[in-house]
Structure 1
Amino acid sequence: MCVLCLSWRMLRRDARAGELHLLLAALTVAVAALAAVGFFADRVRQALTRESHQLLGADLLLTADHPWRAEIADQARARGLRVAETRTFPSMVAHAAEDGQRAQLAEIKAVATGYPLRGSLRIAPTANSADAPAAGVPERGTIWVDERLAAALAVKVGSSVGVGQIRLRVAALLTLEPDRGINFFSVAPRLLMNLDDLPATGLLQVGSRVAYRLLLAGDDSAIRRFQADLERRLQRGQRMESPENGRPEIRSALERAEKFLGLAGLLSVVLAAVAVGLAARRYVERHLDGCAVMRCLGAVQNLLLRLYLGQLAMLGVFAVALGVLIGYLAHFVLHAWLADLLAMSLPPPSLLPAGQGAAIGLLLLFGFAVPPFLQLRKVSTLRVLRRELGPPQGSFMAGYLLGLLALSGLICWLAGELQLGLTIVGGFLIALLAFALVARLAVRAAAALRSRRAFVSTRPLQLGWRYGLASLERRATASVVQIVAMALGFMALLLLTVIRGDLLEAWRRAVPADAPNRFVVNIQPEQREPVRTALLADGIDAELAPMVRGRLTRINDQEVSPANYTDDRAQRLIEREFNLSVRRAMPEGNEASAGRWFTLAELNERSSGAVASVEDGLARTLSLAVGDQLEFLVAGEPVRVRIVGLRKVNWDTMRANFFVLTPPLLLEGYPASWITSFHLPSGREDVVSRLMGEFPNLTVIDVAAIVQQLQSIMQQVARAIQFVFLFTLAAGVIVLHAALASAADERRYELAVMRALGARREQLRRALLTEFAVVGGLAGLLAAFAAMGVGEFLASRVFHFELAANPWLPPLAMIGGAALVTAAGWFAAARLLQAPPIEVLRNGSS
């Protein structure tokens, strides 16, 4: 008979008997979890590739924090390239609406004729109307605003908006910028204006943060030659972006989001691997008799192996197909929840995620299901006569080791970095070992508890408890596996619900109720006193601090560049200009963490005041210490300072804080702008309108609105991650069921023996409930402490605030875990009590 045909018949028989349901469920959940993330990530990746040139608006983008030399554009034109110029910066804009003066922070983009060189702008005549490609850029004297800005200012086409020192007419609503990309990288709404109108606004002053961009387009070969020639001449603060490396913040953020979602799905795979191993082990033990009979009828070892591996392969194909289908449908949920973060249409997904899902299914099958199946070929024919013979004792740990290595490789692949992947693998293994150790000690302690005098009784109630605790120790390995698996699932759920809520609440508590919620920047030196006077007239006593822009060029006489650091944040800090400021006294919310503050001589004598106090987080990032010499390039002149102290800054005070502070005399005479922050009570928005009316060049940043929008974005991403973790929860339940089912035959025989010896069903019911409650309670307790530990780590190392311990979480998690596991376990094991003891005893223990 054809081996595949016989394997198919065996598969159908076992499927009808329910022997393969756990294997099928575990494989399907694992494939579906990563397929859902894979399909969504693939669509985003295709969209970025398809619109790579449009994401730049050009074939090559030159970006700098200072104006590009005119000869750069001239050289590009001489090589036959098209050139366009843009300047982008934040500023306040205002409109006299019917209900009063309205002001709003906007991201202003001034564009020259010819922009964009790739793709097209799209505009609409009114809100909620069909848009169309724009013919050129806004004409002089006009602007285009996006719908968010139009709604905030209550403007419509034809309205007049104050931009700096001039007023411009709204000519259209901007619906699409090809090079804007993703909304959450531009928190403020957008205003598009003609570059020729920019000088009249008076918005570009000393200290203004402007991104100067040159867009180039043309023949590929000419672009490459110009790129190679210019790359050798780039200066500090200048960079080039191409479709291959363009919009690195977008690609980096999307890659991080993809990795995070992928790692969330990977937890489902890890739990599913445990379930596959347990289910395969149970399947093998239940088919030992059948294999022994087949051996007696002449089946050789290789034939048995081919039959069962063929059956396993067909099951795997079905599970992969089902998992890919579920993942494909589930990815639409991710797309719906994250659609607000995307400003581009997504193409249909490719078949690549389906192939990845198939690879995951095969990895789980052959890494964690095949090793137990290899034992079937070693079944002795004597088992037909001696059913007490256990399964073959051949070593199959090598097979599991290969599976673990493959799973580790998958983790490293999803992490995207070998070091990060190995860190995750190491941390995961340590967590598993810690959970397993604590679970084993707890099981041993529970077993020892039953021998205490309080439990040594023949009363029915205490007999049930004693039998339940003894059962944990008899099946110690299975109990530990159940506890560890469920603890991982519970921990993920707690992190995404309770701990996340605690983090948000702790963050809100860390911000004082009267913390500044408005920042005013771009204050010019001659406006310092008038701005202070205007604020005092409205009852606001705000402190103004100077900002002097300087670029860090040397540390201890060694020239520094981004190439000196591997950390992304350190590279960005070295690349950009710092805002240096001065203080006579330690600012509020700052405390010394090393060294000292400035002495009277340093504060009052210019010659001895070449010192600085540095924020300790910056010092750690750049590997700075007290005594180091720093050199900044300020207005073209070198300024050398010596670090005399480090400060720990409480950024949650929302005050104007700075990385580097110096005595006042050191930076005297250098170009500076001023900044202030203050708390504006609700209903006092007229203060901002009056301030903007008197000083139109100022930029007022509504921190509360920005934080609220970022919180909204975080909630959307968190919902998507919680959706992926539903697969994790399903995998955890499957692990529990697999672990319970793996001991079902042994448990059935034990219960039958105990009933034959006089135990009543009520006593056995208490024993089962005790066992399930202890397993669930320990899993919940472990998960609670682990989740609290991870939450504390995130609070202190990532968010930099203290997370108050939630004393109710461990007992609640223990009770919840006990209730959930008891309910699931009882559902799976209740029918064992219904089996007649005589029937079970006749069939034996296996």
Structure 2
Amino acid sequence: MIAGFSWRLLGRELRSGELRLLFAALLVAVAAVTAVGFFSDRVRQGLQREARQMMGGDLLVTADHPVPDHYRDEARRRGLQMAETMVFPSMVMAGGQPQLADIKAVSGSYPLRGKLASSPGGGEPGRDADHGPAAGSVWLDERLAAALGAGPGDRVMVGSRSLPVAAILTREPDRGVNFFSLAPRLMMHLDDVAATGLVQFGARIRYQLMLAGAERDVAAYRKWLEKRLARGEKLEDTGNGRPEIRSVLDRAERFLGLATLLTVILSAVAAAMAARRYLQRHLDACAVMRCLGMTQGRLLRFHATLFLWLALLAGVVGSVTGFLAHFVLMRWLAQLLALDLPPAGWLPLLPGFGVAGVLLFGFAMPPLLQLARVPTLRVLRRELGAPQASLLGGYLFGLLLLAGLIVWVAGDLRLGLLAVAGFGGALLVFWGIARLSIVVIARLSIVVIARGRGGAGFGWRQGIASLGRHAPAAAIQVVALAIGLMAMLLLTVIRGDLLATWQNSVPAEAPNRFIINIQPEQRAALADELRALGVRAELLPMVRARLISIGGRPVSPASYPEDERAQRLIEREFNLSWRADLPAGNQLVAGTWFQPTAAGQGEASVEDGLAKTLGIRLGDELVFVVAGIEKHLRVSSLRKLAWDSMRVNFFVLTPPGVIEDAPASYITSFHLPAAQADAASALVKRFPNLTLIDVQAVVSQLQTVVGQVANAIQFIFLFALLAGAIVLYAALLTAFDERRYELAVMRALGARRRQLEQALRVELAVIGALAGLFAALGALALGTVVSRQVFQLDLDTSLWLPVVAMCGGALFAVVVGWLGFRRLLATPPLLALRTGA
């Protein structure tokens, strides 16, 4: 009976407008959460599938020795597909021209995932291929073909065997971007390796066993193999897919999380304001129902059921809206990534309905409890059972639920905690300062009264005096407006600065060429060649070293049993360099940079991420083995690097005179315009030992990704802006209800309409100006912290924002508030006094 009656009442309340504001707030929050949820879920699945294609399989077993036969036997027993590769450096020769190349020998079943592409000649478009070169032939990539001056039909000497070139390799699915080992590629069949005589004792060969199959079978095989891995063996899966754009996508997810959590915060404020208004407008009806015999428990169950229907309806409609909206995100990002996205799952519906439930019952429960306790005497004495003015006491439960919801929705623990701390602190600070400010302004009414003359004086006196009479309610309106404006400022001004800073991190003239293996005697000649081309490039020294001790503690892969990245870092050789000044794009986060007197002293500056991964702290002594000699370095500073700037960066830097006695090569990066692309081949011909790496495709992809992701993010921010508009309207709508009876009494006592209009404008302007000031200061503080701690960006904002926000807040409150108050002033005083509202 209660369920049916509450459902019918819900329809009536929505048609009359009593619950429309609350329903709109829930709908926007659910739509934003589910839109991002559906899109993120589909992209996550698509990226995993694409990552498998970029790996050439579902699971890779990588080793520095031949893969044991029983690994293959077990994979065969489980019905998994297999392919094998061997990768090693070697000199190749064509027409007497030698060239260092990466030799990749593949089995006939390679690749298991993804597609190879080859072309019959240089400059011709590549065509998909299901397998690599046939036995007795090789494929050359375009750089190796250009360096050797060879093409299809020519012969290449690989070790002791001469093999014909069958095609030009244009795409290799499992070839990642590694600037320090990327050399021209020669691909051959695995069966031809033995005849070349290149596999000798001590050869640096990387062996891989690729596996593919059903997800359950691959997972079972991985679990079986993890317990049997020997030294020099490791497993790789989709976590390593597409590293060149993963950082951009991770940052995009954090931007989407910021937009979503701001939407949830704004919707929570709107829900609290709308629920409070619902309480105010239903106290009399509940008092009448109590007089007719309805108990407190029955009254509470009735309204709780009504709100449950509202939550379900908002969840359904919001989820449908979010599902449709996520196709807009797909239009930008999915096409950008060329992903074949799988169908949407149902799991994103859970957060959507969870948001509706938390917002509604977390912020509607206090008003419901007050409705259930309304005294029956209210039908005779309307001052009884008035709604409580406290903002925090009654809503503490809802605020705690909201805090947990924000952390969950953000998708990033640091971003969620910062948002909770920022808006929670803002709520407390805004409330305290708003109460104090209103008291101070009310005291000024004495001065206004003393100076007031005529009608204008009456308007100013009444406007400021009204703030003093309704200080708690006015403080609530200031806080609600300030929180709403603060979020909207974050969504507009701060968001624009963040996106602009992010997009500028990959500038149009970002370096698109790297040159490595520059010998010291070639440095001056190469610099002259680059200057002749009009290229500005800095040739930086690079020393190979292995880290063996941190803070007096020997380290090895076994020192980090739970951290695979730390194990890989310890296993590899580091690239060290030296310089006296702090490189561009580097930012000190701890310690001090090398002093001029530090030349020759054993100091080191370490990249902050590396320090966190390996547990390196300021003051620690690092011991590196450089060309067989131990170098002891004390960590004097930690740096953050702009890895997506495409500049040359080093994990460890020392001052001059510390490692300069070690064998070093040089590296540089620079931007080469498309019109000078032929100059790259000329450099390689003059300096044949150099390895020139063209990363133009990577730079272009990064720039496109950033631009398109920014469009998708702005679409999600529209939900937050809509929620902010609902908050502002709800805050002012509350003021309409509280002023209706008071305005009627004043008009009955002889106040003219023009006087009341001026009083209301003054009151609204003060509330809006205070809210704008608080919002601007809060947005600047929170935006600065979020930009640095979450997005690793330096926010550059202007100090005029508080002034503009004050003026904008006052204007907004006057304009929007006046549209509502005009109806109140147009209502005949007798009618308002008879209805009592």
User: Same fold per TM (> 0.5)?
Assistant: yes
Question: Is 1:660 equivalent to 2:672 in the alignment?
Answer: no
Determine the structure 1 residue equivalent to 2:148: none
- Residue pairs, 1:367-766, within 5 angstroms: 367-391=362-386, 400-415=395-410, 421-422=416-417, 424-453=419-448, 456-502=451-497, 519-524=514-519, 527-528=522-523, 530-535=525-530, 538=533, 544-560=539-555, 574=570, 576-582=572-578, 593=592, 596=595, 603=600, 611-615=602-606, 617=608, 621=612, 628-634=620-626, 637=628, 639-643=630-634, 645-646=636-637, 659-661=652-654, 666=659, 668=661, 670=663, 672-677=664-669, 687-695=679-687, 698-700=690-692, 709-766=701-758
The normalised TM-score by structure 1 is 0.78
Q: Deviations over 1:293-327 (max 9, x none)?
A: 22222323333223222222222222221111111
Confirm or deny: 8 A CA contact 1:85 1:115 kept in the other structure.
no
Amino acid in the other structure paired with 2:187:
N
Task: Name the counterpart of 2:79.
Answer: none
1:28, CA displacement in angstroms? 0.9
Question: What's the secondary structure of 1:71's corresponding residue?
Answer: coil
1:780 maps to which residue? 772
- The match for 1:812 among 793, 799, 804 is 804
* Cα pair 2:477 2:731 within 8 Å, conserved: yes
Q: State the 1:108 CA deviation.
A: 9.5
Specify the SS of the correspondent of 2:702: helix
How far residue 726 of structure 1 moved from its aligned partner, in angstroms, is 1.8
The residue correspondences of 1:206-217 to structure 2 (distance < 5 A) are 214-217=209-212
Question: 1:653-702 CA deviation, whole Å, 9 max, x = no partner?
Answer: 967766222655746454x4311356768965554342134335544567
| Worse-matched range after superposition: 265-274 or 690-699 | 690-699
**Matched residue SS, 2:85:** strand
**Is the Cα–Cα contact under 8 Å of residues 67 and 207 in structure 2 kept in the other structure?**
no
Quick one: structure 1 residues 556 and 190, their matched pair in 2 at CA, closer, same or farther if it must change by over 3 Å?
A: closer
Shift, 1:273, TM fit: 1.9
Map Cα deviations across residues 91-125 of structure 1 (whole Å, 9 max, x no partner). Answer: xxxxxxxxxxxxxxxx9995623464533417598
Q: 1:513 to 1:345 in 2, by over 3 A?
A: closer
The one-letter code sitting in structure 1 at the alignment partner of 2:722 is A
CA–CA separation in structure 2 for the residues paired with 1:588 and 1:54: 37
RMSD of Structure 2 on Structure 1 (CA): 5.2
Equivalenced residues, count: 790
Deviation of 1:368 (Å): 1.4
Which residue in 2 is equivalent to 1:153?
A: none
* Cα distance per residue 1:494-546 (max 9 Å; x no partner): 34443355457779999999998864323245644553453465576865333
Equivalent residue, structure 1, for 2:85: 85
Is the Cα contact below 8 Å between 2:511 and 2:672 reproduced in 1? yes
- Answering whether residue 104 of structure 2 is matched by residue 113 of structure 1, we say no
Letter of the 2:226 counterpart: A
The within-5 A match list for 1:25-174 is 25-47=24-46, 54=53, 56-62=55-61, 68-72=63-67, 76-77=71-72, 79=74, 82-85=82-85, 110=104, 112-114=106-108, 116=110, 118-121=112-115, 134-138=129-133, 140-142=137-139
The residue number in structure 2 matching 1:272 is 267
Counterparts in 2 of 1:502 and 1:840: CA distance versus 1, 3 Å: same
Distance 1:512 1:336 in 2: 25
Q: Distance in 1 between matches of 2:813 and 2:165?
A: 66
Q: 1:86 to 1:265 in 2, by over 3 A?
A: farther
CA contact (8 A) 1:781 1:813 kept: yes
**Aligned CA distance change for structure 1 residues 108 and 570 (closer, same or farther; 3 Å):** same
Counterparts in 2 of 1:696 and 1:306: CA distance versus 1, 3 Å: same
- The Cα shift of 1:711 comes to 4.2
Describe the shift of the 1:795–1:519 C-alpha distance in structure 2 as closer, same or farther (beyond 3 A).
farther
Question: What CA distance in whole angstroms lies between the structure 1 residues aligned with 2:597 and 2:784?
Answer: 34
Q: 1:338 matched to which residue of 2?
A: 333
Instruction: Please give the residue correspondences for 1:243-258 in structure 2 after superposition, counting only pairs within 5 Å.
Output: 247=241, 257-258=252-253
Q: Is the 8 A contact 2:334 2:341 kept in 1?
A: no
Maintained 8 Å contact 1:280/1:369: yes
Counterpart in the other structure of 1:152: none
In structure 2, the CA distance between the partners of 1:623 and 1:702, relative to structure 1 (3 Å rule), is same
Q: Which runs of 5+ in 2 are unaligned?
A: 77-81, 90-100, 144-150, 194-203
Task: Give me the whole-angstrom Cα distance separating, in 2, the residues matched to 1:760 and 1:571.
Answer: 80
Q: SS of the counterpart of 2:540?
A: strand
Distance in 1 separating the partners of 2:351 and 2:789: 34
| Partners of 1:593 and 1:648 within 8 A in 2 | no
Q: CA deviation at 1:61?
A: 1.5
1:113 alignment partner AA:
S
What displacement does 1:718 show? 2.8
Distance 2:571 2:65 in 1: 23
In the superposition, relative to structure 1, how do residues 490 and 383 fare at CA in structure 2: closer, same or farther (>3 Å)?
A: closer
Q: Closer, same or farther in 2 for the Cα pair 1:623/1:649, shift >3 Å?
A: same
Q: How far, CA to CA, are the matches of 1:353 and 1:542 in structure 2?
A: 49
Shift of 1:47: 3.5
Which of 334, 357, 361 is equivalent to 1:366?
361
**Aligned with 1:825 (options 795, 817, 821):** 817
Change (3 A) 1:761 1:242: same
Q: Is the partner of 1:643 in helix, strand or coil?
A: strand
Paired residues of 1:87 and 1:111 also in contact (CA < 8 A)? yes
Deviation of the 1:835 alpha carbon: 0.6
Cα distance in 2 for partners of 1:642, 1:109 equals: 37
Distance 1:747 1:225, change over 3 A: closer
After superposition, give the CA deviation of every residue in 1:225-274 in whole Å (9 maximum; x if it has no partner): 7622453x345xx642246x664968897677546524421222222222
Please give the alpha-carbon distance, in whole angstroms, between the structure 2 residues aligned to 1:788 and 1:396: 24
| d(CA) in 2 for partners of 1:766, 1:496 | 33
* Alpha-carbon distance, 1:172 to partner: 8.2
CA spacing shift, 1:689–1:769, aligned 2, 3 Å:
farther
Letter in 1 for 2:315: V
Distance in 1 (alpha carbons) for counterparts of 2:819 and 2:186: 67
- Distance verdict in 2 for CA 1:799–1:210, change over 3 Å: farther
Question: Aligned partners of 1:196 and 1:440: how far apart in 2?
Answer: 79
Equivalent residues of 2:607, 2:641 under 8 A apart: no
* Superimposed CA distance per residue, residues 325-372 of structure 1 (whole angstroms, 9 cap, x where no aligned partner): 111111111112212443321122122222331222122222211321
Q: 1:737 to 1:632 in 2, by over 3 A?
A: same
1: distance between equivalents of 2:457 and 2:30? 45
Where does structure 1 lack aligned partners over 5 or more consecutive residues? 90-106, 147-156, 200-208, 604-608
Higher mean C-alpha deviation, range 546-555 or range 259-268? 259-268
In structure 2, distance between residues paired with 1:824 and 1:653: 49
Distance in structure 1 (CA, Å) of the matches to 2:506 and 2:46: 39
Alignment of structure 1 residues 152-231 onto 2, 5 Å: 177=173, 194-195=187-188, 214-217=209-212, 220=218, 223-224=221-222, 227-231=225-229
Please give the alpha-carbon distance, in whole angstroms, between the structure 2 residues aligned to 1:434 and 1:387.
Answer: 33
The one-letter amino acid paired with 1:695 is F
Give the conservation status (yes or no) of the 8 Å contact 1:145–1:170. no
SS of the residue aligned with 1:330?
Answer: helix
Q: Which amino acid aligns with 1:752?
A: A
Whole-angstrom CA distance in 2 between matches of 1:647 and 1:395: 47
How many angstroms does 1:87 deviate by?
5.5
Out of 507-516 and 484-493, give the one that drifted further.
Answer: 507-516
Q: Given that residues 363 and 398 in structure 2 are in contact (C-alpha distance below 8 angstroms), is that contact kept between their aligned partners in structure 1?
A: yes
Residue type of the partner of 1:378? R
